[in-house]
Amino acid sequence: MAFVAEIQVQDKHFIGGEWVEPTGSGTIEVVDPTAEEVIAHIPDGTTEDVDRAVTAARRAFDSWSTVPVEERARCLQAIADELAARADEIAALICHEVGMPLAQARAIQAGLPTLDFGSMPGLLRDYRFEETLGNSLVVREPIGVVGAITPWNYPLHQIAGKVAPALAAGCTVVLKPSEVAPLTAYLLAEVIEQVGLPAGVFNVVTGTGPVVGEAIAGHPGVDMVSFTGSTAAGRRVSEVASRTVKRVSLELGGKSANIILDDADLRTAVAHGVGKCFVNSGQTCIALTRMLVPRARLAEAEQIAAATAAAYTVGDPFDERTTLGPVVSQAQLDCVRRYIETGIAEGAKLVAGGPDQLPFERGYFVRPTVFSEVTPDMTIAREEIFGPVLAIIPCDDEDEAVRIANDSMYGLSGGVWSADPDRAQRLARRLRTGQVDINGAAFNPLAPFGGYKQSGNGRELGRYGLEEFLETKAIQR
């Protein structure tokens, strides 16, 4: 079992380009989900801390918003370069905070934030901030001070997906990282300080959602809130932000369907689909947690899924043999086990895993679990579990598969498998969801990311993410 050598004490906020003492005395413990040990303490921020950060960001906005695009691009590239240099450190921190296996954390948790920042310079060079339309000059300007509220499952990537385009647009930022996994936010602040961004352009206040998060969402000095988290929390952010009629961008939950058509290579499709469900121990908003298969091939799909799940090695994320780490907390462990028990109670067929505890002395470990004969009305088919739990749903034809896939309050991602790419694309167009992967296509960090329905509003990443942080002005001449 790998441990942090000593407890980190991050006892300050990063405000106005300086590490400043919090106004309150409260602290929050950060717990390693594998060792069940405290690895850090961070400040439990207050509304006064938020107010100081917003004031600093407001003061910095007037100058940062006028910095030439070329200079902003240079700064963003410098941040990307420094994050790449510290990739091993980032991966290790996230192993300790979240529990993703080290090799995966190195590629995903450290790799994606570098891409998020590194993609911005090229976008800035090509983006048209002005155009002529008749007698009007239409200009795109930074929206102002951005409040960014981010989750714990991909902590630095979710931060970078907001901070990189906001800074590129010319906005200033007040960040509240998740108190569950905040350490890479401190690392990013160190990088930004080292790169030499002007004081107040980027600020970090740690704390809880009901205090720091709501203070950011409701602050009259914040022009926009970008939030990633649960749908319930997103509703609350929208409610608080509505009092000052600010722009709100939300990336929320998902219950994504993976449709395997009757002409697909079933072995490849099912095995890949299990992987897309279990990545990061299932703690992924775009996880393909509903697998829709032809009823005539249900037994075969069950066997493939059960064998794939059994091949996972659960354990210490620092062990190179591990392919599935813990879930993030005791609360999450209890929640996932309740869902598994509910699936059994409601009549789903358990073909792999289950609620029983794994034989470890400590750690928040869940057995990789597969249910079959799941009906669309079951709890495990409708609610986001956020754990390594797959629901296989049989269907009789393509139209029924589409109806089941779209019969959800969510619409974040999806998958389609077919031997006929044109058929797969036709079906993908019928899905009411923000992204669809055909035949296991790779995640594209430059494509627009976001959801339909209660999976959110707005888009992140690439050009579409940049535009979320811009206002449009028409100047008649």
Read off the CATH number of the domain in which 462 is found: 3.40.605.10
Question: Within 10 A of 230 (CB to CB), how many other CB atoms are there?
Answer: 16
Number of domains in the chain: 2
DSSP 370-431: EEES--TTSHHHHS---SSEEEEEEESSHHHHHHHHHSSS--S-EEEE-S-HHHHHHHHHHS
The catalytic position among 214, 251, 398, 460 is 251
Active site residue 285: yes
Tens digits of residue pLDDT in 84-116: 999 999 999 999 999 999 999 999 999 999 999
Domain harbouring 371, CATH code? 3.40.309.10
Mean pLDDT of the chain: 97
Residues 264 and 227 in one domain: no
Task: Tell whether 2 is covered by a domain.
Answer: no
Q: Is residue 150, in this structure, part of any structural domain at all?
A: yes
The answer on pLDDT for 307 being more than 80 is yes
Residue 267: its pLDDT value, please? Answer: 98
Q: What is the pLDDT of residue 7?
A: 73
| pLDDT at residue 358 tops 70 | yes
Q: 206 and 160, same structural domain?
A: yes
Same-domain status, 410 and 395? yes
Cα-Cα end-to-end distance for the chain: 68
The confidence score (pLDDT) of residue 9 equals 80
Question: Does 221 share its domain with 276?
Answer: no
Residues 372, 378, 382, 386, CA torsion sign: negative
For 352-372, letters b (16+ CB in 10 Å) and e give bbbbeeeeeeebbbbbbbbbb
Give the pLDDT of residue 5: 46
User: Does 5 or 383 have the greater pLDDT score?
Assistant: 383
pLDDT of 55: 98
The predicted pLDDT at position 2 comes to 47
Q: Does 178 share its domain with 247?
A: yes
237 and 371 part of one domain: no
Q: Kindly report the length of the chain.
A: 477
Give domain status of residue 466, yes or no.
yes
Reduced to 3 DSSP states, what percent helix, strand and coil does the chain have, rounded to the nearest 5? 40, 20, 35
pLDDT at 8 (0 to 100): 82
- Write out the residue range of the structural domain in which residue 205 sits: 8-252+454-476
Residue with tokens 């001070």: 145
Tokens representing residue 43 in the block? 């400040």
Is there a domain that residue 210 lies in? yes
Catalytic residue among 75, 171, 277, 285: 285
Condensed to tens digits (0 to 9), the pLDDT of residues 158-207 reads: 999 999 999 999 999 999 999 999 999 999 999 999 999 999 999 999 99
Same domain, 381 and 280: yes
Within this chain, do residues 212 and 273 fall inside the same structural domain, yes or no? no
Return the pLDDT at 309: 98
Q: Which residues contact 221 (CB under 8 A, 6 or more apart)?
A: 54, 55, 57, 58, 145
Q: Report yes or no on 3 lying in a domain.
A: no
- Rounded Cα distance between 305 and 223, Å, is 47
- Cα R_g (the chain), whole angstroms: 22
Token couple for 301:
């799909």
Report residue 444 as tokens. 């594209």
User: Is the per-residue pLDDT at 431 higher than 60?
Assistant: yes
pLDDT at residue 39 is higher than 80: yes
Task: Report the percentage of the chain scoring pLDDT > 90.
Answer: 97
* HSE (side-chain half, CA atoms, 13 Å) at 38: 10
Q: Does residue 212 share a domain with residue 357?
A: no
In a domain, 397, yes or no: yes
Residue 1 is predicted with a pLDDT of 44
For residue 201, the Cα-to-chain-centroid distance in whole angstroms is: 23
Nearest 10 degrees: Cα torsion 27, 33, 36, 38: -30
Residue 1 counted as domain residue? no
Residue 302 annotated in active site = no
The model's pTM: 0.96
Any domain includes 267: yes
Residue 247 reports pLDDT greater than 70: yes
What per-residue confidence (pLDDT) applies to 6?
A: 62
User: Looking at the structure, do residues 166 and 66 belong to the same domain, yes or no?
Assistant: yes
Determine which of 4-8, 64-68, 417-421 has the lowest per-residue pLDDT on average. Answer: 4-8
